């Protein structure tokens, strides 16, 4: 199975990177660009066939090491 | 907007006692509203008001001919270094944020101290840091957590400092169980300025506009000052909004813009929004100038919709400044801020009312006498009581320590102890050379920087900088521990060729409401005072961090000393490693201190690491002896007689000798190792071998000199009243130490490997 | 000679470059602001290190769109000299003025230390004053210095003698452990095909004065000056005692 | 409209971060974890209602600045 994980800065937390990119896009003339948020995208192979167990493990991995729950949110999708 | 009612619970939640609440009512002549309660709670927190530490801080020596701006007057002190030049430096803690979110906590700690320095008008030219963590040995749950904190803190310091372009040139790291769950991050910054550039944080000139500079205010870091003034509990990890995210890029822009602004005389006052944010910066600037200030929160840039006045006033969003502008010169200021693409807003003006008046869309939401808010926090003379653990630690006798039979294995083990081991895993992550000032990079007793005051080849000036504190010593005897922190710092400066100039201090302790903790605070401060008086180094400022406790108890008392010294001539710059084969090795100071019942083994790394004992008394220190030693060694350095000088600290004489052999590191993976043959037989008679090799007796320096000047150097030291003897010679590819009948021999490769890679191995396992 | 040093928001080695060119080498040097479009007549443009635009997104990604970069490209197109150091190297790669890209160090950590760097060719304006296979002891300080290019680009670089600097051990051998970042073939610096644009990760300005522990980096500035003065190649005998 | 952009390292490019995360997960006992790849995930607000124009702009932004074609691939999704 394959998991796709998205880690994004929490709403209330400063996202200086997103801001810098938004400014850069504006100055390049992309006036339609509004807010930009930048996070991480991860793909993880999982050698298991049990989606429920995989989900449980993923939830745990995201919380423990793949994201920093103090400043980031995460979500994931599981594909088989 | 509906504000909560002021109930006793709400007051208690804000950390305000019933007596303090009465005092607030007295100042206002009425009950505070919710916003005002929040404002008082942060301004009167320990972090901002020093209410529990003021009586102690007042005992520090703070005066001296070199002091231009004294401790506590401004964001940081300013010290004269001659020819119209000055330095401004200060140390500050960010312990609790680092415990909860090590990377961002440490990063914003660096950001905060940088702002304290450049708001003085000084260009930051170096940073240092003093760190404490729980043990990183092994791989159990606790060790893994400690490693994660350690890696996060170091990564955060690197991220911020490297990006802003201020070199991190040194520091210290200790590992001990007492910091488990409550790591320490103390960050120090030093800046350079001309006398006439000193900027003030005062809101002078009625009618002058008040500018807000920097990114918009968010809900992050809400009430961080209050957070820093509480013990860490299991729930602290829910204190998440108190964690701020730093943007070093923004800081760099703010830094450049502020220094450019201060070049004009269009700015009358400036202060960063650090702890307690807008609240602290407005009331303190008004209070210093004896004026009032009025702002409208509707004009404050806001990152999120729907922020309340309470939230805006208490937010600790990073990289923001308050600038008081000369009326009529707004355009000039705006031009510079726009040049650096910095967000800014005019949010208010200086008044003559003495009040801090906060409006929101024209409606008054808080009105408090500024000076009373800033200065009239209660001051507490806390009760102090000798700690009961002394009974236990002092019942321990040196004879309880098994005698040492085989030193062969011990030395590599001590060198690999993370507290003693090379910190290259740490400092190679820091840019320590940007600004091309760093003459002695991390890895010697103190960092040395040149000031680049004069273009080459004209004569330049040099500073030596160090941070020091041994928490175990302070735990066993806070007075001696405090004095040793200063003495060791001065010794490190002297070993580098400098004369001690001034200090900054960071008092890290547990909960001062506990009489046994307050005893530690008071005694450590007394020790620091004694030390500073001895070396003529006034305290120019510092920081207090209390409530450093985890559920397992308080940290070892850790009063970190940051010391700066002046090196008068490039030729005086001295490093710790041996230079040439054939040079004579001299021990200045006593091999064993007979005045110490524990012979330097109380609180030693040897006792802790090999026997898991933290007991007895710390090494004995006689300040007059220490001063004599330092003066004599500095005189020799000035005479050009000394090739290397290294102070003996953790691990004692054997570790110091090993470090002299293995610490020179010209390039990646290419150490310059050099051996030594040492004979300590003359001191071995009737003394414990462990004390001789690994005891941490104070007031000792290992020197190397050309063979032909050895006798003269020994004579000169003795003439100055300093015990001294030639103990060996540099050369070969092994360190050999003879102690009477027995002798040990270690290849320098083996010692180097144990010492250099120890932390890397632990972090990568 | 006239040098221009670019200042992007977030540059932090700009002052060091000015110091080394103006105060150490006594050249005419001035800053160029990132918003400048007219940079006047310059002999050499220096793109300094630092964290332009905070290095957000990718190192150099935002800086390369600064107005001044158009002028840099024009300057380079005329065959005039451009040297990018550290973040400057990253920016020149992003701008397409140099081949390849710089990835995160393989250790995933920022690395600041002295390394040994071998000068691979004297056939460039940036190395023409060097002795054959001269080795410099010189500092690096970067988090993203791992040079990458696809195999055909690497082959092309070799064919054209465009690899100017490689990380080596103290004896001058190219070994894996000598590299602080995991670069392909230990590449520490390259030039473009026309040989007038150079990028390097090590910092010659941090090794240009004895007081800083090494003056080995002076050879880079001396090469540029020799080249500009028209001293194309100096006989080895003259250089033997040099730097 | 909102665009979601995924930037991933090219196959031929080393992904030390992915490797480090995989190792960390293994040492925490997540034995089922296979390969890990780490890239960037961006969300961009676009103040436009014309999907075709938005796509064209996004394609350009991705190619010019949001990714570096020497080392990265990208793809994006557009939501309204
Ligand atoms: N946190 C740190 N940051 C930067 N440099 C450090 C840090 N910790 C230690 N160092 C450097 O490593 C060297 C050895 O430090 P330390 O063992 O504390 O020395 P000493 O015992 O002489 O005070 C010093 O040059 C010091 O500046
Ligand atoms: Mg020392």
CATH number among 1.20.120.530, 3.40.605.10, 3.20.20.70, 3.90.650.10, domain B200-377: 3.90.650.10
Q: What is the mean pLDDT of chain B?
A: 94
Structure tokens that stand for B622 in this block = 């006689």
pLDDT attached to residue B406: 87
| Beta carbons of B243 and A12 less than 8 Å apart | no
| Beta carbons of B247 and C54 less than 8 Å apart | yes
Distance CA B244, CA B318 (A): 7
Q: Which chain B residue lies closest to A11 (C-alpha atoms)?
A: B304
pLDDT of B223 above 80? no
pLDDT in tens, C100-133: 999 999 999 999 999 999 999 999 999 999 999 9
Residue C208 DSSP symbol: S
Report how far ligand 2's centroid is from the alpha carbon of B468 (Å): 8
∠ Cα D37 D40 D45 (to 5°): 150
* CATH code of the domain covering residue D51: 3.30.1280.10
pLDDT of C243 above 50? no
pTM beyond 0.90? yes
> b or e along C186-220 (b: 16 or more beta carbons within 10 Å of the residue's beta carbon)?
bbbbbbbeebbbbbbbbbbbbbbbebbbbbbbbbb
Mutation pick for ligand 1 pocket among B170, B652, B758 (CB with most ligand atoms within 8 Å): B170
**Three-class SS of residue B400?**
helix
Residue C180: closest CA among C102, C126, C119, C99: C102
Is D32 touching A (CB cutoff 8 A)?
A: yes
Q: Which chain D residue lies closest to A62 (C-alpha atoms)?
A: D25
What chain C holds in terms of domains, given with CATH numbers, is: 2-239 (3.40.50.880)
pLDDT of C241 above 50? no
Mean pLDDT along residues B622-644: 98
Structure tokens that stand for B10 in this block = 């709400």
Other Cβ atoms less than 10 A from the Cβ of D47: the count is 10
pLDDT attached to residue B154: 98
Size of the A and D interface in Cβ pairs below 8 Å: 96
* Backbone φ and ψ of B189, nearest 5°: -135, 145
pLDDT above 70: percentage of residues in chain B? 97
Residue B290: closest CA among B376, B377, B374, B204: B204
Q: Which chain A residue lies closest to D40 (C-alpha atoms)?
A: A40
Residues 237-256 of B with CB under 8 A from C: 247-250, 252-253
Distance CA B239, CA C21 (A): 50
Residue B562 in contact with ligand 1 by CB distance below 6 A = no
* Backbone φ and ψ of B7, nearest 5°: -110, 160
Q: Which residues does B239 contact at the CB level (< 8 Å), separation at least 6? A: B100, B227
pLDDT in tens, B488-501: 999 999 999 999 99
pLDDT attached to residue B228: 54
pLDDT in tens, D10-48: 988 988 899 999 998 998 889 999 999 999 999 999 999
The ligand 1 atom nearest the CA atom of B130: 1
pLDDT attached to residue B765: 85
> A69: domain range?
2-79
Test mutation, C52, C56, C57, chain D, max D CBs within 10 A: C57
Instruction: Tell me the three-class secondary structure of B115-175, residue by residue.
Output: HHHHCCCCEEEEEEEEEEECCCCCCCHHHHHHHHHHHHHHHHHHHHHHHHCCCEEEEEEEE
Distance CA A80, CA D24 (A): 23
Report how far ligand 1's centroid is from the alpha carbon of B697 (Å): 20
Report how far ligand 2's centroid is from the alpha carbon of B646 (Å): 6
Structure tokens that stand for C32 in this block = 């160029």
Where along chain B do its domains lie? 200-377, 575-765
Q: Are B366 and B310 in contact (CB under 8 A)?
A: no
Tell me the catalytic residues of B: 47, 94
Domains B200-377 and B575-765 are alike in CATH topology = yes
Q: Which chains touch D (3 or more CB pairs under 8 A)?
A: A, C
pLDDT in tens, B38-79: 999 999 988 888 999 999 999 999 999 999 999 888 889 999
Strand B558-567 relative to strand C197-200, pairing: unpaired
* Backbone φ and ψ of B112, nearest 5°: -65, -45
pLDDT attached to residue B237: 47
pLDDT attached to residue B657: 98
**Three-class SS of residue B716?**
helix
pLDDT above 70: percentage of residues in chain C? 95
Q: Which residues does B559 contact at the CB level (< 8 Å), separation at least 6? A: B469, B474, B481, B482, B485, B505, B506, B507, B508, B509, B524, B525, B527, B528
Q: Which residues does B378 contact at the CB level (< 8 Å), separation at least 6? A: B19, B20, B23, B44, B51
| Residues, Cβ < 5 Å to ion ligand 2 | B 445, 492, 647
Strands (E), chain C: 2-7, 28-33, 44-47, 81-85, 101-103, 111-119, 135-142, 146-148, 163-168, 187-191, 197-200
Residue B683: closest CA among B650, B725, B621: B725
Distance CA B530, CA B503 (A): 13
pLDDT of B708 above 70? yes
Mean pLDDT along residues C10-24: 97
Residue B270: closest CA among B323, B319, B318, B320: B323
ipTM of the complex in this document: 0.93
| Beta carbons of B101 and A68 less than 8 Å apart | yes
pLDDT attached to residue B685: 86
Is D38 touching A (CB cutoff 8 A)?
A: yes
pLDDT attached to residue B225: 52
Q: How confident is the model at residue C231 (pLDDT cuts 50, 70, 90)?
A: confident
Spell out which residues of chain B touch residue C15, defining contact as CB-CB under 8 Å: 435
Residue B444 in contact with ligand 1 by CB distance below 6 A = yes
pLDDT in tens, B350-409: 999 999 999 999 999 999 998 998 888 899 999 999 999 999 999 999 999 999 988 999
pLDDT in tens, B231-260: 655 554 444 455 788 999 999 999 999 999
CATH topology of domain B575-765: Phosphoribosyl-aminoimidazole Synthetase; Chain A, domain 2 (3.90.650)
Mean pLDDT along residues B712-721: 98
Distance CA B696, CA B472 (A): 12
Spell out which residues of chain C touch residue B670, defining contact as CB-CB under 8 Å: 116, 169-170
The ligand 1 atom nearest the CA atom of B445: 22
pLDDT of C76 above 50? yes
Number of domains comprising chain A? 1
Mean pLDDT along residues B333-349: 96
Structure tokens that stand for B372 in this block = 């009373």
Distance CA C116, CA C114 (A): 7
pLDDT attached to residue B241: 54
- What does D17-80 look like in DSSP terms, one character per residue? HHHHHHHHHHHTT-TTEEEEEEEEEEEEEE--S-HHHHHHHHHHHIIIIIS-TTTEEEEEEEE-
pLDDT attached to residue C242: 40
Structure tokens that stand for B117 in this block = 């320095």
pLDDT of B678 above 70? yes
pLDDT attached to residue B224: 55
CA-closest residue to ligand 1 atom 15: B172
């Amino acid at each position: 199975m394959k998991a796709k994980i998205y880690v994004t800065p929490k709403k209330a937390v400063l996202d200086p990177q997103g801001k810098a990119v938004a400014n850069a896009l504006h100055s390049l003339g992309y006036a339609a660009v509004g807010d930009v948020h930048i996070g991480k995208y991860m793909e993880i192979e999982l050698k298991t066939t049990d989606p429920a167990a995989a989900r449980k493990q993923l939830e745990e991995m995201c919380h423990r090491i793949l994201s920093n729950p103090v400043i980031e949110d995460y979500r994931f999708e599981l594909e088989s | 907007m509906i504000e909560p009612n002021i109930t006793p619970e709400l007051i208690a939640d804000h950390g305000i006692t019933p007596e303090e609440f009465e005092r607030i009512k007295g100042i206002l002549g009425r009950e505070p509203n919710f916003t005002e309660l929040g404002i008082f709670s942060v301004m009167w927190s320990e972090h901002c008001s020093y209410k529990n530490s003021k009586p102690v801080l007042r005992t520090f020596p703070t005066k001296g001919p070199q002091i231009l701006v004294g401790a506590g007057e401004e964001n940081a002190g300013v010290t004269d270094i001659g020819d119209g030049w000055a330095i401004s430096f200060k140390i500050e803690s960010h312990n609790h944020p680092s415990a909860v979110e090590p990377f961002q906590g440490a990063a914003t700690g660096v950001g905060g101290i940088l702002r304290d320095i450049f708001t003085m008008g000084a260009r930051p030219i170096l940073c240092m840091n003093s760190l404490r963590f729980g043990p990183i040995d092994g791989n159990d749950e606790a060790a893994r957590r400690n490693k994660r904190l350690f890696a996060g803190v170091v990564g955060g310091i690197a991220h911020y400092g490297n990006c802003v372009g201020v070199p991190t040139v040194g520091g210290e790291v200790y590992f001990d169980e007492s910091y488990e769950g409550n790591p320490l991050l103390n960050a120090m910054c030093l800046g350079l300025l001309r006398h006439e550039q000193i900027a003030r944080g005062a809101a002078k000139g009625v009618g002058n506009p008040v500018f807000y500079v920097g990114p918009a205010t968010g809900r992050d870091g809400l009430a961080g000052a209050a957070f820093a003034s509480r013990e860490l509990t299991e729930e602290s990890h829910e204190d998440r909004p108190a964690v701020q995210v730093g943007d070093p890029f923004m800081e760099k822009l703010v830094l450049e813009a502020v220094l450019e602004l201060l070049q004009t005389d269009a700015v009358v006052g400036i202060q960063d929004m650090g702890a307690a944010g807008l609240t602290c910066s407005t009331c303190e600037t008004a209070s210093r100038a004896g004026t009032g200030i009025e702002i409208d929160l509707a004009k404050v840039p806001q990152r999120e919709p729907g922020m309340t006045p309470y939230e805006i006033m208490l937010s600790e969003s990073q990289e923001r400044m308050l600038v008081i502008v000369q009326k009529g010169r707004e355009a000039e200021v705006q031009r510079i801020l726009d040049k650096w693409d910095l967000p800014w807003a005019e949010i208010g003006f200086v008044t003559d009312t003495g009040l801090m008046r906060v409006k929101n869309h024209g409606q008054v939401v808080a009105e408090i006498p500024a000076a009373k808010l800033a200065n009239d926090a209660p001051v507490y003379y806390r009760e102090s009581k000798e700690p009961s653990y002394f009974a236990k630690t002092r019942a321990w006798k040196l004879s309880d320590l098994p005698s040492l039979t085989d030193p062969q294995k011990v030395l590599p083990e001590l060198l690999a102890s993370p507290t003693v081991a090379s910190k290259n895993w740490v400092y190679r992550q820091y840019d320590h050379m940007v600004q091309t000032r760093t003459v002695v990079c991390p890895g010697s007793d103190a960092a040395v920087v040149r000031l680049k005051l004069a273009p080459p080849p004209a004569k330049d000036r040099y500073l030596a900088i160090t941070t020091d504190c041994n928490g175990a010593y302070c735990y066993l005897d806070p007075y001696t521990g405090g004095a040793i922190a200063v003495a060791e710092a001065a010794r490190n400066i002297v070993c580098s060729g400098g004369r001690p100039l001034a200090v900054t201090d960071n008092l890290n302790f547990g909960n001062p409401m506990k009489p046994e903790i307050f005893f530690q605070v008071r005694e450590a401060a007394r020790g620091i005072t004694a030390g500073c008086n001895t070396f003529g180094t006034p305290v120019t400022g510092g920081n207090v961090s209390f409530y450093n406790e985890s559920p397992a108890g308080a940290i070892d008392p850790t009063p970190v000393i940051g010391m700066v010294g002046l090196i008068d001539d490039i030729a005086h710059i001295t490093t710790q490693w041996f230079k040439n084969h054939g040079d004579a090795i001299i021990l200045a100071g006593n091999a064993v201190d007979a005045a110490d019942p524990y012979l330097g083994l109380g609180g030693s790394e040897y006792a802790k690491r090999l026997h898991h004992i933290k007991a007895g008394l710390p090494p004995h220190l006689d300040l007059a002896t220490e001063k004599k030693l330092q003066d004599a060694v500095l005189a020799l350095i000035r005479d050009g007689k000394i090739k290397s000088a290294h102070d003996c600290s953790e691990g004692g004489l054997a570790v110091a000798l090993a470090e002299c052999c293995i610490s020179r590191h010209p390039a990646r993976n290419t150490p310059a190792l050099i051996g030594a043959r040492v004979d300590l037989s003359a001191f071995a008679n009737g003394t414990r071998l462990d004390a001789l090799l690994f005891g941490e007796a104070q007031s000792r320096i290992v020197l190397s000199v050309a063979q032909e000047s050895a006798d003269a150097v020994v004579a000169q030291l003795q003439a100055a009243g300093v015990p001294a003897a030639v103990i060996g010679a540099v050369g070969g590819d092994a360190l050999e130490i003879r102690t009477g009948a027995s002798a040990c021999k270690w290849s320098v490769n083996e010692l180097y490997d144990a010492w250099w890679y120890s932390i890397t191995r632990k972090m990568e396992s | 000679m006239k040098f221009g040093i670019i200042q992007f928001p977030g540059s932090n080695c700009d002052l060091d470059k000015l110091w080394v060119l103006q105060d150490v080498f006594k050249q005419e040097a001035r800053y160029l602001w990132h918003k400048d479009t007219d940079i006047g007549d310059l002999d050499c443009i220096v793109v300094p290190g630092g964290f332009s635009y905070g290095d957000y997104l990718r190192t150099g990604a935002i800086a390369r769109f600064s107005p001044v970069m158009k002028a840099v490209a024009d300057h380079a197109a005329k065959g005039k000299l451009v040297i990018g150091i550290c973040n400057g190297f990253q920016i020149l790669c992003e701008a397409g003025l140099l081949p390849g890209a710089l990835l995160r160090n393989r250790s995933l950590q920022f690395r600041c230390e002295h390394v040994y760097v071998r000068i691979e060719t004297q056939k460039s304006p940036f190395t023409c004053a060097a002795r054959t296979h001269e080795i410099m002891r010189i500092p690096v300080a970067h988090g993203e210095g791992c040079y990458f290019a696809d195999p055909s680009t690497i082959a092309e670089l070799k064919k054209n003698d465009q690899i100017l600097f490689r990380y080596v051990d103290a004896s001058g051998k190219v070994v894996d452990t000598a590299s602080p970042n995991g670069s392909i073939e230990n590449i520490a610096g390259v030039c473009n095909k026309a040989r007038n644009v150079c990028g390097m990760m090590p910092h010659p300005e941090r090794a240009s004065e004895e007081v800083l522990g090494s003056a080995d980096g002076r050879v880079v500035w001396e090469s540029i000056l020799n080249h500009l003065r028209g001293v194309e190649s100096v006989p080895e005998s003259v250089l033997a005692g040099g730097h």
